[in-house]
Structure 1
């Protein structure tokens, strides 16, 4: 019988179980700034701009090229750091907001040390720890409520959009304003495989904002920087002569990394800027200074174009990306597996290939957020498909369970395959996709968020 053609992904090989067959990834060459560049650094929290791109910032300031640094949140919900710094719990709303203001002041001081003026900094003030949930659920209707701040709108008068409701649409509007006004040529942003939820959210908002304004600005180059990941950086501590290398499990297959060398004087200034974040350094002094090294590191996560291949071509585990820790780093190596995205006819097919799959299904959650140019992103469905232990699925659109036709779940050996019709996704041009799995025998794991591109001739 003739096989039905699939449109399959070529995902990045990451944590292969029992060792990977993939060779170490090749570097794409060093990052270079030119006199024509306009540099935009996007930071989920104050301090991320320094540890992720402090060398880039110094170079741009020294070259006197246009530079802007944007903070998604004020980092006002890091209660562990605040407990160590204040030596008492910080739980009252006014005290939590005061810590958010303290982190803003620390950012201004740190950036002054790197040669950046106050008018080059933009604070958005969205909820620390809540921006990914906003992306997946909060676009209209009631706004998100901060866990510690217990507010539903931007509470900081210094913010770009003071009192803007905590919704994904307002984050998107702010980023679109910044992109069209500043017109960057290079953007440095948190990595979609980072294990912190705000770090995962920011590149998603950026991606949608760039799609929305692509006819108004030239396409910039995107450089994701990694901050939170298991056993990264290695070793911990201030080692200014050592290189900053990617985690081994993220340095395989089609993944690529670019480095930005730092002269010793820039490493020293970066260290000083890190230390300006006293509220954060105090509770984990060896961690943040680990990023003051001889280079900075930027990954590459290009969109995955779904193209026709034979069905047998997607059976190799190296076509998938392994599930990674999303919570705090754990000792040892997780029993992960691979995820393979494909297309069969007018459906997207997601296969979870997980050894010992019987231990997995505390629940696997598949997030699928479609984008198309002729529909506002806030009006598109935001699906979470919860696959349960018995191999059945429950579908949610934002907060609410929904009844949809055509979503199926099949299980064969260690493969769990979920089929989703493109019609229920509103036949998108792109899909922002992630899989999060919970095991009964270990911590939750999650893939990086990936962009799945459906070629126009296939979508219609």
Structure 2
């Protein structure tokens, strides 16, 4: 028997009503700010494609290239431009029993895995758009694991082993992979991407939006930015979106409707562009998407909701790092060299705003670098705040991973290229901003860095993370830092 004070049932009901009221008001405030910030958004026109363009499209899985880029591929081929598609994975985590599927669809001529089947579907999809099989590169990395390869499984001595029945290997098992037996680690992914970029010499690269909710898309975005920096690529890059809640809206086949970005993404600093596509190209896009028959069998309405009168792309600016006065004060908020994260995108953000990342920034003074992390609520000492940097000196990347937990901050050695330092890390908390100070000499000779962050609970469950954004040091820093 549950015991309680007299009237406890009434008190519980009253508390429940109050909590519901608070949640409703939070949602209405959240909705108000979304509507206020997105009601006047204007899309620019996607640049005209010419015969001199060499377009590189990087797709995490078979079907992403069709969903987000079919119209662009058609426009490029019509302009006699060159197109190359890179498939990061073969989608081998698809929850389909291949034997049952083959029997059900009368594919009696097929003998292989789900990864083999999706490979064939991609070739068929691209043929519907007029793109030859020779213009598709399959890297063969594990579906659902690209974020591990960019993070914890970077080195060759720490390979990732596939965890689904179709791929339980630590290397690519596919005979059509770009690199035979490609080892499953981030360093090898980067090697492959660098080789392709240097050889192909693209004039335009398209890859997933870093606001995409699928971890493979998030990681592909990071890999491309990393490889583009190392190869010295200086051309335009455009991001496309596939996974974002119940987007596209509505989730059904509406070929006469326009495709528009989700409201929360429009709050960020991207420049959004629209590519109008012809009726004929729209029809071909529908055929290309339907060619991914395994996926159509699982989520037809969702896939066909991408057949619209346009395709949209985002261009994110490089952030110029700001120099500040010594011992800076951040009581007025984040510095200019910072970027915002999607609002209330963590699973617990409405009830626990401290679990929602709102922004990150990087500045420096004469002696130190300052890494800033902003949350929607006050910083919670019971959570784990991770800050990640990839620092480029013109030749190689070095890695800095910092963890703030239980009132302590420490360096983490996650890869062979991790920077080791014995110096104590200083940090302070100003309401909802965490400020971590580390020696500026760690950035000697650096000209560019990638920055990201995440929040975990005490069980190491990730609650929220941020995209990898590119920061650039000013020219005077690059010269002066050599004296550090």
TM-score (norm 2): 0.79
Is 1:103 the counterpart of 2:103? The answer is no
Say if 1:325 and 1:354 are closer, same or farther in 2 by CA, change over 3 A.
closer
Match of 2:20 in 1: none
Say if 1:348 and 1:250 are closer, same or farther in 2 by CA, change over 3 A.
farther
8 Å Cα contact 2:323/2:364 also seen in 1: no
Match of 1:384 in 2: 401
Q: Which has the higher contact order (CA 8 A, sep 6+)?
A: 1
Among 202, 205, 208, the alignment partner of 1:190 is 208
| Residue 372 of structure 1, CA deviation | 1.6
Match of 1:65 in 2: 81
Match of 1:262 in 2: 277
Say if 1:207 and 1:116 are closer, same or farther in 2 by CA, change over 3 A.
same
| Residue 342 of structure 1, CA deviation | 2.9
| Residue 312 of structure 1, CA deviation | 6.8
Say if 1:342 and 1:172 are closer, same or farther in 2 by CA, change over 3 A.
closer
Q: Which runs of 5+ in 2 are unaligned?
A: 1-28, 104-109
8 Å Cα contact 1:192/1:200 also seen in 2: yes
Among 47, 54, 57, the alignment partner of 2:63 is 47
d(CA) in 1 for partners of 2:163, 2:68? 26
Number of residue-to-residue matches in the alignment: 430
Match of 1:363 in 2: 384
| Residue 102 of structure 1, CA deviation | 0.9
Quick check: 348-357 or 282-291, which moved more? 348-357
8 Å Cα contact 2:324/2:363 also seen in 1: no
Match of 1:341 in 2: 361
SS in structure 2 of the partner of residue 364 of structure 1: strand
Match of 1:19 in 2: 33
Is 1:276 the counterpart of 2:291? The answer is yes
SS in structure 2 of the partner of residue 184 of structure 1: coil
Among 362, 377, 394, the alignment partner of 1:373 is 394
Larger radius of gyration: 2
d(CA) in 2 for partners of 1:74, 1:181? 23
Say if 1:82 and 1:274 are closer, same or farther in 2 by CA, change over 3 A.
farther
Match of 2:332 in 1: 315
Say if 1:443 and 1:132 are closer, same or farther in 2 by CA, change over 3 A.
closer
Among 125, 143, 159, the alignment partner of 1:143 is 159
| Residue 73 of structure 1, CA deviation | 1.0
d(CA) in 1 for partners of 2:341, 2:111? 37
Say if 1:394 and 1:25 are closer, same or farther in 2 by CA, change over 3 A.
farther
d(CA) in 2 for partners of 1:33, 1:334? 46
| Residue 248 of structure 1, CA deviation | 0.7
| Residue 360 of structure 1, CA deviation | 7.7
d(CA) in 2 for partners of 1:59, 1:333? 46
Say if 1:132 and 1:423 are closer, same or farther in 2 by CA, change over 3 A.
farther
Among 421, 433, 444, the alignment partner of 2:463 is 444
SS in structure 2 of the partner of residue 75 of structure 1: coil
Deviations 1:380-408 (A, max 9, x none): 22x332222x3322431216996642422
8 Å Cα contact 2:385/2:453 also seen in 1: yes
8 Å Cα contact 2:203/2:236 also seen in 1: yes
8 Å Cα contact 1:25/1:253 also seen in 2: no
| Residue 183 of structure 1, CA deviation | 1.6
Among 53, 56, 71, the alignment partner of 1:37 is 53
d(CA) in 2 for partners of 1:265, 1:330? 44
Matches within 5 A, 1:151-162: 151-162=169-180
SS in structure 2 of the partner of residue 283 of structure 1: helix
d(CA) in 2 for partners of 1:332, 1:263? 42
TM-score (norm 1): 0.83
8 Å Cα contact 2:240/2:312 also seen in 1: yes
Aligned-pair RMSD on alpha carbons?
3.5
Quick check: 406-415 or 355-364, which moved more? 355-364
Among 207, 220, 225, the alignment partner of 2:225 is 207
d(CA) in 1 for partners of 2:324, 2:271? 24
Deviations 1:256-314 (A, max 9, x none): 10111111221122122111112122222221212111111111112111123675788
Deviations 1:54-94 (A, max 9, x none): 11111222333211111111111233x56998499xxxxxx
Say if 1:309 and 1:411 are closer, same or farther in 2 by CA, change over 3 A.
closer
| Residue 242 of structure 1, CA deviation | 1.2
d(CA) in 2 for partners of 1:333, 1:323? 16
Match of 1:457 in 2: 476
